Structure 1
Amino acid sequence: MKSGSVFSLLMAGLILLGCGGSSTSDYSQRIDDKVRAEQIKEMKFGMFICWSFSTFYGSEWTPTLDKDASFFQASGCDTDQWCKVAKEAGMGYILFLAKHHDGFCLWDTETTDKKVTNSPLGVDVLAKLQKSCDKYGIQLALYFSEGDWNWPGAEDGGWMKGGTNPEMKKAQLEELCTQYGPIEFFWMDHAVGDGGLSHKETVDFIHQFQPNCFIGFNTGETAGRLNLRERGKPGPIGDKSTVWNEHHLKDSYDDFLVAEFTYPILPKHEGGADWFYSLPKHDKLCKPAEDLYNDYLGAVEYGNIFSINVGPNYEGKIRDVDVETLQKVGRYISGELKLSEKD
């Protein structure tokens, strides 16, 4: 057997050891970056879940200072449904919104009273999702807004006005890294600032707890191993045609090992939000399964991962049209359907 073949087999074995569901044995021990990059690439396709204050506000960003946890009026939380649909769609992971710019935390944090366990729902949604991920063999990744409109110096609802509180940012990230199992990657949103902790400092802090966690930032200081492409498309790292924002294509930065792209399953529409469920009048709107499948094929071709965004509704369920669409994508991926067929 050729030495190259031996190396390929060894790499495949190491990748499999790290991809057996969301309960990796010891995620505090760092593994080789190239091996870890292949594990991330192997996830291929995932579900980006956005569910927070904005679900009940009817637009993308929700000013927060006049709102407490009771503003989150979810009547249910069906994380098993989310994971079951993800599995049927051929997905390898769920990317879950842990905290948006309004500072409302979807886990039982000790850092603020503005958290889901103080809402009428009264459930640690992230803990429940972690159990569902384990049940269905789905990996877990997290979205996190670096800034927060509740922090000192913030301008409520303002772009790049998220205030500064580096110690709270670190406390929240430590909770997420130490209480909810292995986090495959963090999707860091810089839209309201970095919260007073630089991106390089953020990466180093997270790696104290989870050295194998990939971390990406949608704008701002370039750092981490994951190239985020918000509203992007598949393609090689460095290709400017694949991104909506070119900030992360600096010629001097060569540490990216994997690219992720994401966009909402909702097509263009009038009113409401794109990334969150917001208005029942949009319940029939959805991108075609064929478009999603073609981008999945592109992700596989270029070694990207593709996070399609869906927003659970007021009852904590994925919309029927999204379920049907994603199940159809899964049938394309499995080979049950071909692109030449209509259903």
Structure 2
Amino acid sequence: MDKNIEKMIAVVPSERQLKWQELEFYGFLHYGLNTYLEIEWGDGSAALDILNPSDMDVEQWIVSMKAAEMKGIVMFCKHHDGFCLWDTKTTSYNIMNTPYGKDLLKEVADACVKYDMKLGLYLSPWDRSHPAYGTESYNDVFIQQLDEILTGYGKVFCVWFDGACGEGKNGKKQRYDWERYYAFIREKQPEAVISVAGPDVRWCGNEAGWHRAQEWSVVPAKLMSAECVAELSQQEDTEEFRAKQVNSTMEDLGSRKALEGAGPLAWYPCEVDTSIRPGWFYMEHDDNRIRPLDELLDIYLNTVGANANLILNVPPCREGYFKKNDVKRLNEIGCFIRDTFSYNLAEDAIIQADSCAEDGLVEAVRSQNMDGYWKAAAGKETAELEFMFSSEKTIDYCMLMEDIRQSQRIEKFRILYRTEGAWEEIFEGTAVGHKKICRFEPVKTDAVKVVIDESRSCPTLRFAGFYYGYYVPEVKTRSR
């Protein structure tokens, strides 16, 4: 085997990364003093008495997100203004000293348990109100805040950092002790991934829902520190930052060509973060500016359906609940996912593969569980799998999943369908990874082929499914 290929397929996910990837889709909750000021970034000077919701309904947040088929939420515990939404001993600038006077993180954590949703936590290292910010003692304060939220609210699936670094109230900038933060999180919540400015999950490069044409999880290890460099971090909130795409030199992070001579490699999967509204915190003037369903479904299909996880922000309003337009859109997203992908049309198909490794079973691809997988025979870099249906079916989606426990291997594939005894191509793709959802015009057929043309050593598939969705969102992003 080529030494470069050997090096690439030796890189595999950790157990915590595997569990995180299975979540696929979850929500952000931006709420705080900024909600009442209708701004995105507070400076730490807002009066605490403005936070006085008249109809707080935390359970509605969680139920609405679950209806969208989200599997968890990430709670904003502290944004850059330094205001804390839990009962903290590190600062008086917290929710217990507002008219609301309750530990909001506890309420969210309890609702997550009640409705079987995973809990993640965001904590901004940048703190524009704490007097210690910009001094070494602030790192002790930040560790104490991590200790409070990681030990008092149950099991956590992720700790979400951004690299934003700017001045505090004393005009100083902080040197974040990232390695100390990471070690502390590993001690207190060893199963939690550390996202974005962290070693487990990589940021996509923007906040607009943009994504690469092909997403790879095996990438140069140097990317793991990209968001932790203060000089490269976000200094202010701007439209340009939210909408910017990573530069063209970073478009291809993990192809075989991109990894040649790249030095050490790492399993560093991608997460795409974006908001259901134009901004992150609630603004009344955006009540009728919820993103169109087609746009959000297109983002879902090109993130969750293209080897990335998606985190979608939904901001509670000043009264303390999700507005009806946001709830309506969440329900529509969930209906699409359930209606389209609940029934695999190949469930009873006869499946044949042109080769199979001794430790792989072609029948395993009927199920998304991780108990089994198909793998091509040793030495094979190409393969064909044929699915023969019991009767003619109409299909317009194909879902493929690699067994990423054996790394990401498939580099180029095609989908063909049988019509009048001949095979015709309906889709061509590159990277698969955890999940690839292929969209095409509806076709009627009694047989489909998945043809793997290029791979890193013998390819694997954990799952292959075919579906018909009566609603197909208009494709508004670039061709896949």
What TM-score, normalized by structure 2, do the two folds share?
Answer: 0.56
Measured in 1, the distance between the counterparts of 2:186 and 2:40 equals: 31
Tell me if structure 2 keeps the 8 A contact 1:51–1:311: yes
User: Structure 1 stretches (4+) deviating beyond 6 angstroms?
Assistant: 161-164, 246-250
- In structure 2, relative to structure 1, the CA distance for the partners of 1:243 and 1:205 (3 Å cut) is farther
Is 1:233 the counterpart of 2:210? The answer is yes
Is 1:320 the counterpart of 2:320? The answer is no
- In structure 2, relative to structure 1, the CA distance for the partners of 1:341 and 1:183 (3 Å cut) is closer
Q: Residue 51 of structure 1 corresponds to which residue in structure 2?
A: 31
Which ranges in structure 1 are unaligned for 5 or more consecutive residues?
1-31, 155-160, 268-273
Q: Residue 62 of structure 1 corresponds to which residue in structure 2?
A: 42
- In structure 2, relative to structure 1, the CA distance for the partners of 1:143 and 1:276 (3 Å cut) is same
Q: Secondary structure at the match of 1:208?
A: helix
Equivalences for 1:191-340 in 2 at 5 Å? 191-192=164-165, 195-218=174-197, 223-229=198-204, 230-231=206-207, 232-234=209-211, 235-237=215-217, 244-245=245-246, 254-267=265-278, 274-278=279-283, 280-335=284-339, 338-340=470-472
Measured in 2, the distance between the counterparts of 1:171 and 1:86 equals: 30
Tell me if structure 2 keeps the 8 A contact 1:226–1:258: yes
Measured in 2, the distance between the counterparts of 1:328 and 1:152 equals: 45
Is 1:168 the counterpart of 2:160? The answer is no
* Structure with a larger share of its residues in helix: 1
Q: Secondary structure at the match of 1:315?
A: coil
Tell me if structure 1 keeps the 8 A contact 2:91–2:130: no
What TM-score, normalized by structure 1, do the two folds share?
Answer: 0.76
1:20-59 CA distance string (max 9 Å, x none): xxxxxxxxxxxx9533222111111111110011111122
- In structure 2, relative to structure 1, the CA distance for the partners of 1:105 and 1:329 (3 Å cut) is same
Q: Secondary structure at the match of 1:165?
A: helix
Q: Which moved more, 1:141-150 or 1:323-332?
A: 141-150
Tell me how many residue pairs correspond in the alignment.
Answer: 292
Measured in 1, the distance between the counterparts of 2:329 and 2:118 equals: 21
Name the structure, 1 or 2, with higher relative contact order (CA <8 Å, separation 6+).
1
Q: CA deviation at 1:326?
A: 0.9
- In structure 2, relative to structure 1, the CA distance for the partners of 1:125 and 1:256 (3 Å cut) is farther
Q: Residue 14 of structure 2 corresponds to which residue in structure 1?
A: 34
Larger Cα Rg: Structure 1 or Structure 2? Answer: 2
Q: Secondary structure at the match of 1:141?
A: strand
Which ranges in structure 2 are unaligned for 5 or more consecutive residues?
1-11, 167-172, 224-242, 255-261, 341-468, 475-480
- Which of 52, 57, 60 is the matching residue for 1:73? 52
Q: CA deviation at 1:290?
A: 2.1
Tell me if structure 2 keeps the 8 A contact 1:54–1:61: yes
Measured in 1, the distance between the counterparts of 2:138 and 2:74 equals: 25
Tell me if structure 1 keeps the 8 A contact 2:43–2:129: no
Measured in 2, the distance between the counterparts of 1:108 and 1:253 equals: 42
Q: Residue 155 of structure 2 corresponds to which residue in structure 1?
A: 182
Q: CA deviation at 1:62?
A: 1.2
1:280-314 CA distance string (max 9 Å, x none): 22211111122222222223333321011111001
Is 1:113 the counterpart of 2:92? The answer is yes
Tell me if structure 2 keeps the 8 A contact 1:103–1:150: yes
- RMSD across aligned positions (CA): 3.0
Q: CA deviation at 1:186?
A: 1.3
Q: Residue 364 of structure 2 corresponds to which residue in structure 1?
A: none
* Structure with a larger share of its residues in strand: 2
